Amino acid sequence: MANVAVVGSQWGDEGKGKIVDWLSSRADVVVRFQGGHNAGHTLVINGVVYKLSLLPSGVVRPGKLSVIGNGVVVDPWALLKEIAAIQEKGVEITPDTLLVAENCALILPLHSAVDKAREEARGVNKIGTTGRGIGPAYEDKVARRAIRVCDLADEAVLEHKVEQLLFHHNALLRGLGAEELAKDEVLAQLREVAPKLLPYSAVVWKRLDEARRQGKRILFEGAQGAMLDVDHGTYPFVTSSNTVAGNAAAGSGMGPGAVGHVLGITKAYTTRVGSGPFPTELHDEIGDKIGQRGHEFGTVTGRKRRCGWFDAVMVRQAIKTGGITGIALTKLDVLDGFDELKVCTGYKLNGEVIQHLPAGQTAQAQVEPIYETFEGWSESTQGARSWAQLPAAAIKYVRRIEELIEAPVTLLSTSPERDDTILMRDPFED
């Protein structure tokens, strides 16, 4: 029996929520290992809608242990608000059911202020961030001046660390002619939130090690997607963490052998929010139709997502760089009723055909997709629960995708409903 990591293989929003929910019903522990409250998952369970950003999806299921690993950047105010909102729906969240790693770096109000101000100053060059302070918080973490969860319990260190943090940030604010931050104010914010957050603080690596030794099933829940990975994505139009499954180990305090099967959640077409290259983007009515049919609006920011054809080159790259062992193909039903469909099988760059997305910003913006065209299907695939219920043209589309991306389709999702899932293999049993 293996543990399972669920990661996005495109630019996020691949429909991880439903798959994670489906898998979390069969896991004992659900762990977030990177990102922060920039992620957005909507879960519908027995008609009740739960909106999650930072909490692991297992939190809504009784008897599961939910863990926020050290790789996550935690905004204590956002976390407490989310906990309260979920508790209001009758879900029990206590320090027995939710653990926050004591070595998580915190997102402070100054981080979201910096994030938004910088985006505005960038103008047309903006990244299109969620404005939640994710980037600035990770910057402080790697610069070794972050305030961490454990610091909230150590008054002497806290004061010194806030001084160090402001030494940096106030120098920048001064340079920009902006108002500086007062140490006492930042300290007061932290002292106020400390007693509310600290009960959840835990030695996560130890608890996960115990769980593993007891043979518990661990589900690692990724956020965003491979093309937003800070190393492997479309840099600089990326998020500030490693989104690939390799980070599930480091971001939770387990060894690489703990991760097990890596399920790459993959949309049957492509979308992205924010700025940056998108080779198969459609600027026509077909792109609009995909967006409308797929309800492609961001969960966190409400932004309209950019839509395009399936890019097999990019997904294959995500599979290789992320160690994805199988994919869950989602939203196939959105493609019902198109006369023809296209899949990108290579790129043209400066007159040459290439089979990968280059790292350079100019090259990424210049690659032209080479398409293979498929006959569409007029039948509905919505709600199909077996392979036999799919039209032949849809089967052909899926089979060709498997061939092109060099990975099997482990799961196929045909509607937002949890049970509308075709299971080819059980990832926990692989």
Q: Per-residue b/e over 220-240, b at no fewer than 16 CB within 10 Å?
A: bbbbbbbbbbbebbbbebbbb
Dist. CA 233–CA 324, nearest whole Å: 15
Cα dihedral 153→157→160→162 (10° resolution): -30
Tokens 């661990």 found at: 218
Specify the residue, 129 or 321, whose C-beta has the smaller distance to ligand IMP.
129
Q: Is 41 a catalytic residue?
A: yes
Residue 303 beta carbon to ligand IMP: minimum distance, rounded to whole angstroms: 7
* Binding residue ranges for substrate: 299-305
Residue 240 beta carbon to ligand IMP: minimum distance, rounded to whole angstroms: 6
* Binding residue ranges for IMP: 13-16, 38-41, 130, 144, 224, 239, 303
* Binding residue ranges for GTP: 12-18, 40-42, 305, 331-333, 413-415
| Cα R_g (the chain), whole angstroms | 22
Contacts of 8 (CB under 8 A, 6+ apart): 14, 16, 222, 223, 224, 225, 226, 228, 243, 264, 265
Residue 233 beta carbon to ligand IMP: minimum distance, rounded to whole angstroms: 9
Dist. CA 245–CA 268, nearest whole Å: 21
Specify the residue, 129 or 381, whose C-beta has the smaller distance to ligand IMP.
129
**CA nearest to 162, candidates 135, 139, 189:** 189
> Is-contact 11 266, C-beta < 8 A?
no
Q: Is 295 a catalytic residue?
A: no
> Is-contact 225 7, C-beta < 8 A?
yes
How far from the centroid of its chain's Cα atoms is residue 255's Cα? Answer: 21
Residue 416 beta carbon to ligand IMP: minimum distance, rounded to whole angstroms: 17
Determine the 3-state secondary structure of 330 from DSSP. strand
From 21, 28, 37, 41, the catalytic residue: 41
From 13, 21, 140, 311, the catalytic residue: 13
Determine the 3-state secondary structure of 220 from DSSP. strand
Specify the residue, 40 or 260, whose C-beta has the smaller distance to ligand IMP.
40
Contact footprint for ligand IMP (CB under 6 A): 11-13, 38-40, 127-130, 132, 134-135, 223-224, 228, 237, 239-240, 273-274
Which pair of tokens denotes residue 258?
């703990």
> Is-contact 358 396, C-beta < 8 A?
no
Specify the residue, 129 or 201, whose C-beta has the smaller distance to ligand IMP.
129
* Binding residue ranges: 12-18, 38-42, 130, 144, 224, 239, 299-305, 331-333, 413-415
Residue 273 beta carbon to ligand IMP: minimum distance, rounded to whole angstroms: 4
Residue 40 beta carbon to ligand IMP: minimum distance, rounded to whole angstroms: 6
**CA nearest to 284, candidates 264, 308, 262:** 308
Specify the residue, 260 or 274, whose C-beta has the smaller distance to ligand IMP.
274
Specify the residue, 299 or 366, whose C-beta has the smaller distance to ligand IMP.
299
Mind telling me the catalytic residues?
13, 41
